[in-house]
């Protein structure tokens, strides 16, 4: 996903900007097109016109949360009829519950959470995955409850259940999140990571459960019908197996197939979004001068023979996987030059790559391109 934008004044503008710092022009993000647009007011109060060059101008409303602590810069295209245009953008309509915003720190936490959520939702939309607010589709829609633990009540636990993602708002407090990251011995813990992980649970229900991908999922990730509560209890009591890194992207992924999928899904989104952003700024993994052994077709099969024919989806996966490896090696060295933690503190094992590959194929199967669905990908046969 490209996140490099330029205002009509020629100055660079960035995904979270609502005003160009060069010329002062209003900006807004069109999520359907993946573009940050310069705007000019129209004669109709509350409506704005894009100031794009070389294309027809479009009209929008700005999200009502622009003036709230969320500081949302997303745009809302006109509905039909026009007077039914919602006051909140798609991303803000996903948020169902907020903490008490009269508490100053809560407002700041909400701001950080919505920033992370906009980045995640924009990348999901770029992948053309179905994003519908639960209030508009009670059966299959998505909602976010942002909650704060209350004295004398059970603590809020970040998680997903039936299309509702609950987020402990205290995760937006840097000191709290860093304390939890250290105590749980996690190399990476961010708001964006939480949101991407929980979205993985949601999309497992939407795209895998009861679908043609369920048996391939079980062949690669394991049988999700094993006792989930017991698996979590064992993980927190005893930790991950010593050799977890030989099969999973993170230690937490090793506790249960559902968590393995969610961690792998989040990892896949990290990779796709970071590569797209880097390309937008002219940084490409295939241009990094680094001598290393790339992953070949054999990594996609459990026996390592790699004798099966690759389709275009497989070839695309291997291409950007190897670009990612080159890019992260360079970025890790840059981070070390600044004396900070590695940009990418992970090592991808061959089984973890096969799991990422399955996520890639599931998304490709459900992703229409050019306004129409591609010929469906055939799920791989279960591996014995």
Domain boundary among 66, 87, 108: 87
Instruction: Give yes or no for a cis peptide into 81 (omega within 30° of 0).
Output: yes
> How many Å apart are CA 39 and CA 19, to the nearest integer?
9
The β-bridge relationship of strands 27-30 and 12-13 is unpaired
**What is the chain's pLDDT, residue by residue, as a tens digit (384 residues)?**
888 999 999 999 999 999 999 999 999 999 999 999 999 999 999 999 998 766 678 999 999 999 999 999 999 999 988 889 999 999 999 999 999 999 989 999 999 999 999 999 999 999 999 999 999 999 999 999 999 999 999 999 999 999 999 999 999 999 999 989 988 888 888 999 999 999 999 999 999 999 999 999 999 999 999 999 999 999 999 999 999 999 999 999 999 999 999 999 999 999 999 999 999 998 876 666 666 678 999 999 875 555 566 889 999 999 999 999 989 988 999 999 999 999 999 989 999 999 999 999 999 998 755 434 444 445 554 433
Residue 367's nearest CA partner among 319, 297, 316 is 316
Residues 79, 227 share a domain: no
Residues 300, 220 share a domain: yes
Domain boundary among 87, 116, 149: 87
| Residue 14, domain extent | 1-87
Residues 349, 237 share a domain: yes
> How many Å apart are CA 300 and CA 317, to the nearest integer?
10
The β-bridge relationship of strands 48-50 and 59-62 is antiparallel
Residues 278, 188 share a domain: no
Whether pTM exceeds 0.85:
yes
DSSP letter string, 269-291 = HHHHHHHHHHHHTT--GGGS---
Residues 376, 306 share a domain: yes
Residues 154, 9 share a domain: no
Q: Assess contact for 203 and 129: CB atoms under 8 A.
A: yes
Residues 203, 220 share a domain: no
Domain boundary among 207, 228, 257: 207
Helical ranges in the chain per DSSP H: 90-93, 104-126, 174-183, 191-207, 214-221, 228-238, 257-280, 312-337, 350-365
Residues 109, 71 share a domain: no
Residues 276, 370 share a domain: yes
Residues 350, 281 share a domain: yes
Helix H or strand E encompassing 13 = strand 12-13
Q: What is the pLDDT of residue 383?
A: 38
> How many Å apart are CA 114 and CA 142, to the nearest integer?
15
Residues 200, 223 share a domain: no
The vertex-226 CA angle with 222 and 227, nearest 5°, equals 145
Residues 321, 229 share a domain: yes
> How many Å apart are CA 279 and CA 273, to the nearest integer?
10
Q: In angstroms, how far is CA 314 from the centroid of its own chain? A: 21
Looking from the CA of 42 toward its CB, the CA atoms found within 13 Å total: 14
Looking at the structure of the chain, the number of domains it has is 3
């Amino acid at each position: 996903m490209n996140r490099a934008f330029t205002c009509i004044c020629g100055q660079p503008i960035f995904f979270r900007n609502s005003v160009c710092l060069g010329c002062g022009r209003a900006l807004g993000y069109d999520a359907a097109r993946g573009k940050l647009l310069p705007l000019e007011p129209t004669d109709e109060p509350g409506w704005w016109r894009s100031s794009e060059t070389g294309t027809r101008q479009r009209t929008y409303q700005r999200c009502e949360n622009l003036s709230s602590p969320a500081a949302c810069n997303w745009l809302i295209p006109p509905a039909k009829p026009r007077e039914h245009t919602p006051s909140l953008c798609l991303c803000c309509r996903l948020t169902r519950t907020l903490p008490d915003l009269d508490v100053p720190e809560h407002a700041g936490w909400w701001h950080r959470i919505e920033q992370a959520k906009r980045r995640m939702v924009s990348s999901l939309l770029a992948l053309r995955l179905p994003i519908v607010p639960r209030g508009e589709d009670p059966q299959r829609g998505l909602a976010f409850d942002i909650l704060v633990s209350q004295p004398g009540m059970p603590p809020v636990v970040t998680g997903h259940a039936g299309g509702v993602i609950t987020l402990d708002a205290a995760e937006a407090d840097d000191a709290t999140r860093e304390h939890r990251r250290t105590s749980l011995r996690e190399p990476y813990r961010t708001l964006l990571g939480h949101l991407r992980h929980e979205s993985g649970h949601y999309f497992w229900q939407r795209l895998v459960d009861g679908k043609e991908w369920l048996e391939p999922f079980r062949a690669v990730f394991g049988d999700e019908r094993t006792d989930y509560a017991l698996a979590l209890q064992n993980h927190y009591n005893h930790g991950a197996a010593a050799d977890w890194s030989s099969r999973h992207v993170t230690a937490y992924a090793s506790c249960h197939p559902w968590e393995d999928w969610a961690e792998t899904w989040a990892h896949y989104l990290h990779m796709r979004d970071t590569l797209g952003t880097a390309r937008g700024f002219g940084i490409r993994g295939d241009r990094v001068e680094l001598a290393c052994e790339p992953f070949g077709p054999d990594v996609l099969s459990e026996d390592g023979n790699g004798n099966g024919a690759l389709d275009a989806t497989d070839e695309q996966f291997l291409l950007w996987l190897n670009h990612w490896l080159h890019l992260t090696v360079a970025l890790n060295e840059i981070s070390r030059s600044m004396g900070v933690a590695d940009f990418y503190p992970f090592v991808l094992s061959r089984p973890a790559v096969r799991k990422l590959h399955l996520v890639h194929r599931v998304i490709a199967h459900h992703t229409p391109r050019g306004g129409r669905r591609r010929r469906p990908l055939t799920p791989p046969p279960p591996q014995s």
